[in-house]
Structure 1
Amino acid sequence: MRYDEFVGQVRRRGGYADEAEAAVVTQAVLGVLGHRLDEADAEELGCRLPLPMGMWLTGDGGPSVPIGTDEFLQRVGIATGVPPETAETDARAVLRTVAAAVSATELDAVLARLPAGYAALFGQNGDHSDT
């Protein structure tokens, strides 16, 4: 998937005014997700996404932070300057587009390293638990 296609899908899923807004949200969500994944997983997933999204995901290459979905959404909200409810819409728009952009095997590998609540954000079976 090309960058413009990815951002276009995020725009449609999130109902954003334009591609620029969708790109800002995408960068914020991927940056927070990148801090949640370990470096190798972030790099592996980043290789499957269009440039510069892989760089947004790998970010500073710091250590992963084991946070549940509630904390993840709070961090997305802080990064985008919105309340947690809006952050959930933002996260779903981006992560469902990630799920559409990678193979099922690649997505399963990412979800296997995240608590169950993340699956729902990616549009997969799962609940919104904070496990």
Structure 2
Amino acid sequence: MRYDEFLAKVRERGEYGSQQEAAQVTAAVLGVLSSRITPGEAASLAAQLPKQLHECIDSDPDRATATFGVEEFCRRVADQVGARPGTAQWDASAVLSTLAEAVSGGELNHLFT
């Protein structure tokens, strides 16, 4: 999936007013997601996404992998975009559903198990 296509889908699903807002939300969600998976999984994820999204994903091999649930995930996204956790849940849904279309089924299994 191309970058502009990815953002257009996020924008539509999240009902954002601009492509820039969709890009900001996408960066926040992918950043939080990448902190929750191993650096190797993050690198594999980045490899399946448009080049412009690679900088959103932390695949530093020296970083620690964080362990947290959905509530903390949404709180972290909310902190990054300046929103409430309920809004961040909406944001995460828009990005993650688009991500599910953009990556292979095997990669998706690694992310959500």
The TM-score bracket by the shorter chain reads over 0.9
The corresponding residue for 1:34 is 34
Contiguous gaps of at least 5 residues in structure 1? 113-131
1:49 is aligned to: 49
Structure 2 contact 78–84 (Cα < 8 Å) conserved:
yes
Task: Tell me the residue number matched to 1:11.
Answer: 11
Q: Is the 8 A contact 1:31 1:59 kept in 2?
A: no
Shift of 1:60: 5.4
CA distance, structure 2, for counterparts of residue 82 and residue 5 of structure 1: 25
Gaps of 5+ in 2: none
Q: Which residue does 1:69 correspond to in 2?
A: 70
Amino acid at match of 1:15: E
Superposition RMSD on alpha carbons, in Å? 1.2
Aligned residues: 112
Structure 1 residue 111 displacement after superposition: 1.6
C-alpha distance in structure 2 between counterparts of 1:19 and 1:64, whole Å: 30
- Look up the match of 1:94: 95
Amino acid at match of 1:106: E
Deviation at 1:40, TM superposition (A): 0.4
Shift of 1:90: 0.3
Q: What is the letter of the counterpart of residue 3 of structure 2? A: Y
In the alignment, the residues of structure 2 paired with residue 75 and residue 52 of structure 1 have an alpha-carbon distance, to the nearest angstrom, of 22
Kindly indicate whether structure 1 or structure 2 has the higher relative contact order, using CA contacts under 8 Å at least 6 residues apart: 2
Partner Cα separation in structure 1 for residue 102 and residue 47 of structure 2: 11
Looking at secondary structure, tell me which structure has more helix per residue: 2
**TM-score, normalised via structure 1 length:** 0.81
TM-score by length of 2: 0.93
